[in-house]
Amino acid sequence: MSTSVSSPSFVGRRDEMERITTAEASARVGRGALVLVAGEAGVGKTRLVDEAVRRTRDAGGLVLVGACVDLAGAGVPFAPIRDALRGLLAGLPPEGLEALIGQSRAELIYALLDLGSATLPERVGLGSDSSGPRFAEACLDLFGRLAVERPLLVVVEDIHWADRSTLDLLSYLARSRLEVRFVVLATFRSDELHRRHALQPFLAEMARTRTTERLDLRRFDRAELEEQLQGILGGPVETGVIDRVQARSDGNPFYAEEVLLVDTTGEELPAALRDVLLTRVATVSQPTQELLRIASVAGTQVPVPILVGVTRREEADLEPMLREAIERHLLVPREIAGEASIAFRHALVQEAVYAELLPGERVRLHAAYAEAMGTADRSAKRSGHGHAAQIARHWLAAHDLPRALVASMVAATTAIGMHAFTEALAEYERVLELWDQVPNPEQQTGFDRIAVLESAARAASESVPPRAAILIAEAIRLAGEASDPTRLGLLKERLGRYAWTAGDELTAIDACREAVRLVPREPPTAARARVLASLGQILMITAQFDEARVVCEEAVAVARATGAAEIECHALDSLGVTSVYLGDLAGGLAELREAGEIAQRIGSIDETARVQANRIDVLANSGRLAEAVEATIEAVAFTEEHGLTRVVGVLDLAEGALALFRLGRWPEARQMLSRAGQYDLAGTPQIFRDQRLMLLDVAEGRHDVAVARLPKARQLIARVVEAQLIAPLAEAAAELDLWQGRPADARREIGAALGHLAPGSSISRLGPLFALGLRAEAELAATARARKREATVAEGRAVADRLLAEITQMRWMARDRLPNFEGQADAWWSICVAEYARVGGGSDPKLWDAAADAFDAISMPYPRAYARMRAAEAILATSRSRSAAASRLQEAHEVATQLGAEPLRGEIAGVATRARIDLVDSAAEVPAGMGRGDAVRDAILLDGDPIGLTSREREVLTLVAAGRTNREIAERLFITEGTAGTHVSNILGKLGVRGRTEAAAVAHRLALLPEYHDP
């Protein structure tokens, strides 16, 4: 027999524990209570009581514990009270008890407990009818006196087995009008109580007393169950394990322990547990047991009309049996989609009953269910993936493979229509498993195997991305044998998309080029437009923008010529992004807008989501970071609504989080990434999420976490070439190396990344790498000069020359051809120039101030704070004004503190300490929209804004309401004074007011502002 293992930590039940604690606190001032803890077997009543006992004892209290025993109705009077008092009184001499409660009551208690003494028992008349009430009074008096000295908790377990005398005693204690300074905690199994159970009158009576509180313990929800399993296993638990344990245990903690043991060891359900589950089944009549056996074949629940069809009996004939099973807590009534249904109270009961069926019974009943459900389906009473999947399951269990194949295909296509991609993939996989076991599967399903594989890959792309590439590769193998170049080309196009999602860009590029080669150029076809659109997309993604524009323009033209609106939309979307990165921001946004309009017109959810994702990308990388955040909120809401969050939605969240990181709104960035972490990720979505987390971890000083993420992150980008997947990891890894004193490693990291990236990659992605690369060279040069290694200095200068030349070229290109990237180019170039001066041994405060001002202009506080620190350092090195250095250090320290940038804050503090400059701690002064705990942004991220204010405008409005000037707003939000003024003007217009005072009044009246305490 297997032994279950319990979680060493107490899980959940916080509300219940708080109510028990409150009851004990009330008892200490004379308002004691009876607390009834109700719950089914295994739900955790004893664990709750044990925790309450532990806390009471830890607080110095006294605990008396007794339990009722199941003696088939022949209970021993006062059995639990006897148990509770025996331990207390066994070591107490009679005179000690007499001193507490007097001689007569002491005699009574000793007699009823059979503890006796040479002098007391013979004076007690136990046959008297008044002994029960007298005993209750004696107990009340004893408990009250014990509670004077210290808190008292009396525990009575399993009162569903209690004798009448015990229930009378509990009733007496609950209804006492005297001052009561103790708590009685009594437990009972709610699933043991049928209508005529002896406990029912007692519970009804107690419900009418003000001194009784009832706690009904529910089963664990998923989060609590995960916490329980983590406690048992001592670490994180795989999602699949949690899913399986939840499905079989229904959140019952005891059952979960047993199921986990089975899940981790591969054993069957323990025989002892199965016997326990079947014991209650054996208490009902034979007809009801037979009905339970039939119902178990349906699973955990079944609509009553289906049960009627399977049993071939009238519903009225089933009602007595259903009522008995419900009263015995074996079944529970449900209403599903307006239809009467019944469900097993516990999934494990259903499992145990089903296990008792003979093999022949199972086959016969599964076939009967499939027939009954198919008939209901044909009569249009039911539809949907769940119903179709159940029919397929029943035919499979009935060993009717042809019907199982057809039903699985129906279930798969139904699931696709509902965007239930995980379920669809499971059905398609079943179809593929059955394919070779059924004669003429093409004729049976209406599809060939290639089409099934293609559909399965489509479902996998939205649920298990790596699986999509495997499935489509098998389809390509079969299609190659069929010698249809257009079909093969379209499958190659799918491989390109799925390989990219799986993080294999090299395969994606090759597959898309092969697809264009395979599909004929003439005559123009939708297939030709599709493969061109996909090639254009992968070229755009990998920053091959000149070729991407040519291919996308051809794709748009062919799509329009063939009336393929969805493909036109897709190609136009990629063309819009390409235009932005080639310098035409207005034109690119217009093309994206047109693509979005087409997607809306044709009702394409996928293309609408893609347009939204690309809009986030171009806004963020063009420096319009706040707009990118707002676009993220809108896009994620759309993907969640339409079931696309696992891939597209995660990419949106990751890009939005990066924008927030650049803006210095780090808690919000982590919040977005935590939303992405709700899913089991793989491939590109995992790369996006994990790299952004690493940037945050490094900047915040969580270096151990970042180091732990690094090996997996490197593995994931082994076959990618695009900047948005390589640059963030290189940035995080290089900065980590620098903070940990390894500039040589940072040099290698930056060199490898820049060597992989295409020349057309944007400044927003490459700028941080150039800056970190030159920072590493400055650190290496300083060390080499100190050690008089001139050759090493010269080597570093050559690397620095090359880095500065490359970013200078990018800056001039931005000024000449890419005006939308000019602000970012100036900022990153400025900090690179300042670092380059350090490489030569002379740090110039003017260069650092220029860099800080440039980052201020584009609302990036993190590099701005770093630049201010270096400016102060340079001032101190040249013995200039200490006050000038102090002001810069103070500014940098405030920003680093507000961001939570612990490594930078520590570096700044070190400079100040060495210079004997005192820094003022400004941790409390965190402006809205930045730093820790921003209530405004939390609300916006969750709830949106009915007035139409952007997030930045909400931040500005908060400060306007606090009486801040434009200059003060600019300083608090790290924006220019002119930008602050523009925001204020926009706010006044949106609120329809003429002045700041009126705006503040309207904002307060409409509850647009959080509680704000102006420092």
Kindly report, residue by residue over 720-731, the tens digit of the pLDDT. Answer: 666 777 889 999
pTM here is 0.59
Q: How far, in Å, are 232, 235, 259, 790 from residue 11 at the CA level?
A: 11, 15, 18, 63
The C-alpha atoms of residue 356 and residue 295 are separated, in whole angstroms, by: 13
Predicted pLDDT at 946: 47
Per residue in 131-140, pLDDT (tens digit) is 556 677 777 8
Predicted pLDDT at 355: 86
Of the CA atoms within 13 Å of residue 243, those in its CB half-sphere come to 4
Confidence band (pLDDT; 50, 70, 90) for 905?
very high
Q: How far, in Å, are 399, 840, 996, 1003, 1015 from residue 965 at the CA level?
A: 78, 42, 10, 17, 15
Predicted pLDDT at 748: 94
């407990």: which residue's tokens? Answer: 113
Give percent of the chain above pLDDT 90: 42
Q: How far, in Å, are 3, 226, 228, 634, 955 from residue 7 at the CA level?
A: 13, 11, 6, 41, 45
The C-alpha atoms of residue 15 and residue 97 are separated, in whole angstroms, by: 38
For 312-355, where are the alpha helices, taking DSSP H only?
315-327, 347-355
The C-alpha atoms of residue 180 and residue 29 are separated, in whole angstroms, by: 8
The C-alpha atoms of residue 995 and residue 548 are separated, in whole angstroms, by: 50
DSSP letter at 649 equals: I
Tokens linked to 168: 């009378």
Tokens linked to 12: 């959940």
Q: Say yes or no to pLDDT of 939 above 60.
A: no
Residue 819 CB: number of other CB atoms within 10 A? 14
With 0-12 / 13-18 / 19 or more C-beta atoms within 10 angstroms meaning exposed / middle / buried, residue 233 is middle
Mean pLDDT value across the chain: 83
Predicted pLDDT at 928: 41
The C-alpha atoms of residue 714 and residue 756 are separated, in whole angstroms, by: 14
Tokens linked to 198: 């002896």
Give percent of the chain above pLDDT 70: 84
Predicted pLDDT at 613: 93
The mean-pLDDT minimum among 285-294, 370-379, 618-627, 823-832 falls in 370-379
Confidence band (pLDDT; 50, 70, 90) for 778?
very high
Q: Say yes or no to pLDDT of 884 above 80.
A: yes
Q: Are 529 and 515 in contact (CB under 8 A)?
A: no
- Average pLDDT of span 388-413: 92
> What's the distance, CA 513 to chain centroid?
38
Concatenated DSSP letters for 674-690? HHHTTS---HHHHHHHH
Per residue in 679-692, pLDDT (tens digit) is 667 777 888 888 99
The C-alpha atoms of residue 366 and residue 35 are separated, in whole angstroms, by: 47
CA distance from start to end of the chain? 65
The C-alpha atoms of residue 326 and residue 340 are separated, in whole angstroms, by: 14
């498993």: which residue's tokens? Answer: 433
The C-alpha atoms of residue 686 and residue 720 are separated, in whole angstroms, by: 13
For 678-742, where are the alpha helices, taking DSSP H only?
683-700, 703-716, 723-739
The mean-pLDDT minimum among 46-55, 190-199, 438-447 falls in 190-199
Number of residues assigned to the chain: 1015
The C-alpha atoms of residue 906 and residue 869 are separated, in whole angstroms, by: 11
Confidence band (pLDDT; 50, 70, 90) for 118?
very low
Residue 786 CB: number of other CB atoms within 10 A? 8
Concatenated DSSP letters for 835-854? HHHHHTT---HHHHHHHHHH
- Average pLDDT of span 336-355: 80
* More confident call, 1002 vs 390: 390
Q: Say yes or no to pLDDT of 106 above 70.
A: no
Q: Say yes or no to pLDDT of 404 above 90.
A: yes
The C-alpha atoms of residue 548 and residue 579 are separated, in whole angstroms, by: 10
The C-alpha atoms of residue 173 and residue 938 are separated, in whole angstroms, by: 49
C-alpha radius of gyration, the chain, whole number: 36
Predicted pLDDT at 640: 84
- Tell me which residue of 212, 167, 215, 200 sits closest to 19, measured CA to CA: 215
Tokens linked to 957: 């409005």
The C-alpha atoms of residue 511 and residue 492 are separated, in whole angstroms, by: 5
Confidence band (pLDDT; 50, 70, 90) for 936?
very low
- Average pLDDT of span 629-654: 87
Predicted pLDDT at 490: 94
- Average pLDDT of span 522-534: 95
Q: How far, in Å, are 659, 893, 1015 from residue 919 at the CA level?
A: 30, 8, 18
Confidence band (pLDDT; 50, 70, 90) for 659?
very high
The H or E element containing residue 601 is helix 585-602
Q: How far, in Å, are 8, 48, 50, 250 from residue 230 at the CA level?
A: 10, 19, 20, 17
- Tell me which residue of 486, 421, 474, 431 sits closest to 450, measured CA to CA: 474
- Average pLDDT of span 451-474: 90
The C-alpha atoms of residue 350 and residue 346 are separated, in whole angstroms, by: 7
Cis-peptide, bond into residue 523, ω within 30° of zero: yes
Q: Say yes or no to pLDDT of 719 above 80.
A: no
For 253-384, where are the alpha helices, taking DSSP H only?
253-265, 271-281, 286-296, 304-311, 315-327, 347-355, 359-378
Predicted pLDDT at 693: 93
The C-alpha atoms of residue 518 and residue 536 are separated, in whole angstroms, by: 16
Q: Say yes or no to pLDDT of 929 above 50.
A: no
Tokens linked to 54: 């532990």
Q: Are 837 and 603 in contact (CB under 8 A)?
A: no
Per residue in 535-579, pLDDT (tens digit) is 999 999 888 899 999 999 999 999 999 999 999 999 999 999 999
Q: Say yes or no to pLDDT of 972 above 60.
A: yes
Q: Say yes or no to pLDDT of 860 above 90.
A: yes
Q: Look at strands 31-39 and 301-303 and give their pairing.
A: unpaired
Instruction: Please name every residue paired with 303 in a beta bridge, in sequence order, or none if there are none.
Output: 341
- Tell me which residue of 269, 262, 264, 255 sits closest to 233, measured CA to CA: 264
Q: How far, in Å, are 425, 481, 485, 513, 553 from residue 516 at the CA level?
A: 28, 19, 10, 5, 14
Tokens linked to 695: 């940037």
Predicted pLDDT at 377: 57
- Tell me which residue of 296, 310, 303, 304 sits closest to 352, measured CA to CA: 296
Q: Say yes or no to pLDDT of 776 above 80.
A: yes
Tokens linked to 911: 């400079």
Per residue in 985-1011, pLDDT (tens digit) is 778 766 766 677 667 666 655 556 554
Q: How far, in Å, are 129, 145, 418, 435 from residue 374 at the CA level?
A: 67, 70, 20, 22
Q: Say yes or no to pLDDT of 833 above 90.
A: yes
Q: Are 635 and 612 in contact (CB under 8 A)?
A: yes
- Average pLDDT of span 375-396: 71
Instruction: Please name every residue paired with 37 in a beta bridge, in sequence order, or none if there are none.
Output: 187, 215
- Tell me which residue of 69, 33, 70, 80 sits closest to 52, measured CA to CA: 33
Predicted pLDDT at 344: 86
Residue 454 CB: number of other CB atoms within 10 A? 22
Predicted pLDDT at 97: 67
